[in-house]
Structure 1
Amino acid sequence: MSRKPADEADAVIEDHGYVNAAGRPEDNAPPDQKLLFSSPSLPPVAVCWLILLLIMGLRIYFATINAEITNQLKENQTTLLATIENLTKLSDQLKLEKDDLTKEQKSLKLQLENMMQNYDVSEGKNTEQKKENQQQMENFAKQIKDLEDNWKKFNVSRAQWAIDSYCPKDQAPSKGRRCSPCQAGWEKNQMSCYVFHNSEAPPHLKTWEEARENCRGRGADLVVVHNEDEKQNLNDYITELLVPNGYWIGLKVEGGKWKWIDGTDLTDTSWIGSPDEGHCAVSLMNRTWASVRCDQKRTRICSQKALSL
């Protein structure tokens, strides 16, 4: 069968187009991958595996996310429950405090009402009470004035007594007054003045504490001796006085040792025997000192500082 010229030309064109057509991908693939493209059923299987792996990965991812969200929700729920419990306790406490404040308010209100009632009752007596208070104040002021007047009189009398004691009037009026460092009837010894209570009659005898109180009432105290000269002069006076039981002096046992009433310790322990608690010192007419119980009854020697003339 013969072909026409037009058909031959078309055939030539088709052959040329086939020869010059672009190559397929599998033609350019490496030799070890041509088998993959050579099988028409392999690409769909690979796609299915990829999709399956993707689905499994997404499932694991979402499962992890879901677990974290669940744990977070549980923690939030626990915290919320604890907060609710604390708020409930706080609410109960505030309610109790409110009840207490309400009771206190009622109590204060009742007290205020009672005070108002008492004020109304006492208002009528207020004027009378003021008069009574005023009278008491006037009486108190008068008592103070009387005390001040008496004190002034006492000071004047005391000053006059001091003048008469230290500067007695001479029997001859023309000679006036003659002053001395010690009161009349007191003996001067160095810088001190002594007075000897010579009577041993029962009303005049006293315990050591009573004797000291008696001396203080005269502005003096029991005699204190700090050196041998003072002791010698004191002994000279005593030997001339007939007082067998001796005189209290200002020496007493305190804390297991002899102490003078001015707070100093006895420096010469040969003057008296060993100290016994509850004992005080007595100066005897034989120039010795004896340790006797302080609650015994003796007479006394008072002493005060001599005036500087």
Structure 2
Amino acid sequence: MSGKPADEAEGVIEDNEYVNAPVRPEDKAPPDRRLLFSSPSLPLLAVCWILLLLIMGLRIYFSSVISEQNVKLMKENQQLMKENQQLKTENQELMKENQELSTEGKNTELKNEIQELKTENQELKENFTKQITDLEDNWEKFNVSRAHWTIDSYCPADKMRKCSACQKGWYQIQKSCFVFYDRETPSELKTWEEARENCRGRGADLVVVHDEEEKNVIDGNVTNIPVSKGYWMGLRVEGGTWKWIDGTDLMNASWIGPPAEGHCAVSLPTRTWTSVKCDEKRTRICSQKALSV
């Protein structure tokens, strides 16, 4: 038992000497390099380098692929542009052809219309020629009938057939013949235009008075053959002026009142003339040139 404590004391002394002993050169040698490579951070660093190299490789690869695709797309785009230009050219040609076809179609329509117009014109000519022929035939018949009527009017068909300068029932005043329609039944009364047409149907016209002598003769007959509303004469207002139907102006303004548009002249039994609306109803005085017998 007494021997063990002595041994333990010796062991403590040896340990203290070892701890307090100076450091020897061989004790300061660097650590083994294999210990460094066996560090825990070494695999992570290697993985990072591998990923970086992989990314750079992929980037180079994809850049190359994209560049090739861009070149390909540019070529395709140029080809499409070329085809597009060709399509534009073809479209312009088609439009030109369509325009030509439209023009040809219009020309055809115009030709058809011209032909139809020619046909209609020919038909109208034929109808017009027929109408002229009919009118000439009717006019010839009318002239023959009128000639007989005129001869009978101026030269009554009796045993002593004797011709006069005026028709029967007409008055000769100088070189003219006059007839005074003194009947005022509704069928005999006419507007100024209707009265003139009635006179023309007898180869005459409404009376025209050129001087004071003719006026006195007309007024005298109107007084001798009076009608309540007076007689139409060939005098009316045109353009604010009194004009006779032969185109001459009224020379003496004192014969009738101031002109009013739409008015015509009427000779009254009082030996005066008055202005009334031309669409009123009156009887009339017709005149024509006397024949030389």
**Pairwise same-fold verdict (TM > 0.5):** yes
Counterpart of 1:245 in structure 2 is 229
> 1:159 is aligned with what amino acid?
A
Which residues in structure 2 correspond to 1:196-215 (within 5 Å)?
196-215=180-199
Report SS of the residue matched to 1:204.
Answer: coil
- Provide the rounded CA distance (Å) in 2 between the counterparts of 1:108 and 1:286: 78
Cα distance change of structure 1 residues 250 and 98 upon mapping to structure 2, 3 Å threshold: same
Counterpart of 1:103 in structure 2 is 98
- Provide the rounded CA distance (Å) in 2 between the counterparts of 1:220 and 1:140: 30
Counterpart of 1:89 in structure 2 is none
Question: What TM-score, normalized by structure 1, do the two folds share?
Answer: 0.54
1:198 deviation in Å? 0.8
Indicate whether 1:258 and 2:242 are aligned: yes
Deviations 1:266-304 (A, max 9, x none): 111121122222221111112111112222111000111
> 2:143 is aligned with what amino acid?
N
- Provide the rounded CA distance (Å) in 2 between the counterparts of 1:141 and 1:227: 47
Cα distance change of structure 1 residues 233 and 139 upon mapping to structure 2, 3 Å threshold: closer
Counterpart of 2:144 in structure 1 is 156
> 1:150 is aligned with what amino acid?
N
Counterpart of 1:271 in structure 2 is 255
Which residues in structure 2 correspond to 1:1-309 (within 5 Å)?
98-106=93-101, 148-170=136-158, 173=159, 175=160, 177-309=161-293
Question: What TM-score, normalized by structure 2, do the two folds share?
Answer: 0.57
> 1:257 is aligned with what amino acid?
T
Name structure 1 gaps, 5 residues minimum: 1-92, 115-136
Name structure 2 gaps, 5 residues minimum: 1-87, 110-124
1:103 deviation in Å? 1.7
- Provide the rounded CA distance (Å) in 2 between the counterparts of 1:151 and 1:178: 28
- Provide the rounded CA distance (Å) in 2 between the counterparts of 1:112 and 1:296: 58
- Provide the rounded CA distance (Å) in 1 between the counterparts of 2:103 and 2:226: 82
Q: CA RMSD in A?
A: 3.6
Cα distance change of structure 1 residues 96 and 307 upon mapping to structure 2, 3 Å threshold: farther
Give the aligned length.
195
1:155 deviation in Å? 2.2
- Provide the rounded CA distance (Å) in 2 between the counterparts of 1:292 and 1:274: 11
> 1:213 is aligned with what amino acid?
E
1:110 deviation in Å? 7.8
